[in-house]
């Protein structure tokens, strides 16, 4: 099974929700949405962001938008105004997720 970058079949946008990062992932087609529903699990996303301090990820499915919304709890080290992270608002998390290799 060949692997591809998630960014080849989806778009993403991210930001902060207090101390958590919010990542929206939008599939480029209904077929890609169905594939992503199987491989882009909350556990997989949590493991992917574990080096950044993510200990929990929750996935919300939005099939009418061909999208998923992920909340990465407590990954922003306090949030925008108190965090010493370079990306205190989590704007880069979506782009980082698009680099994930997935099986097609």
> Which of 64 and 83 is assigned the larger pLDDT?
64
Residue 100 · residue 6 · CB < 8 Å: yes
| pLDDT computed for residue 53 by the predictor | 83
pLDDT in tens, 24-77: 999 999 999 999 999 999 999 999 999 888 899 999 999 999 999 999 987 776
Distance, CA of 8 to CA of 32 (rounded, Å): 10
> Which of 91 and 42 is assigned the larger pLDDT?
42
Distance, CA of 66 to CA of 73 (rounded, Å): 23
């Amino acid at each position: 099974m060949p692997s591809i970058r998630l960014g080849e079949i989806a778009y993403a946008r991210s930001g902060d929700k207090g101390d958590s990062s919010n990542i929206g992932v939008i599939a480029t087609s209904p077929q890609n949405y169905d594939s992503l529903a199987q491989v882009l699990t909350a556990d997989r996303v949590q493991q992917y962001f574990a080096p950044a301090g993510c200990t929990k990820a929750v996935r919300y499915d939005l099939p009418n938008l061909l999208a998923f919304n992920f909340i990465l709890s407590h990954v922003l080290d306090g949030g925008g105004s108190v965090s010493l992270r370079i990306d205190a608002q989590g704007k880069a998390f979506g782009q980082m997720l698009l680099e994930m290799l997935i099986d097609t």
